[in-house]
Amino acid sequence: MRSNGHRLAGAELIHQQPVRGWLEFKRSPLDSYGPRMEAHLLDRRGGKDLILPLYYARLARIDGVMHLTGNERVGRSNTKANTRRVSQSWLCALDPADAQPLLARIRVTHSTGFSAENDNDIEDPFAPLDYQ
């Protein structure tokens, strides 16, 4: 629940337009890094990505909606450039209204005292849900 690498508060997410597509959650091709999962939101089954895919994806929670967490690769994607991994999470629901109670519980906290969007925050929560 980030935009351009910056964390978003739950109140900001409620007013954003959801992205609709075909969710594909599958095992990544095996290579030297071992088994892992990735999630793609496609325009149709077997189609193109609508948003950046999640790598090292895991299903964190199901509470009426699916909560997927992982890493996006941000930056140039050619072979000589290094991409930056940014933590990201998705809420997947058939109806966006189903996700609103969960979005209302998201709290963006920070330890530096400067900004809730400070990405160098050591206390950056992997899944910023208030589980109370």
**pLDDT for position 127:** 53
Query: Whole-angstrom Cα distance, residue 104 to residue 68?
Result: 17
What is the share, in percent, of the chain residues with pLDDT greater than 90?
Answer: 17
Give the model confidence (pLDDT) of 38-57 as tens digits.
999 999 999 999 988 999 99
- 35 contact partners, CB below 8 Å, separation of at least 6: 27, 28
Question: What is the rounded average pLDDT of the residues 111-122?
Answer: 52
pTM of this prediction?
0.69
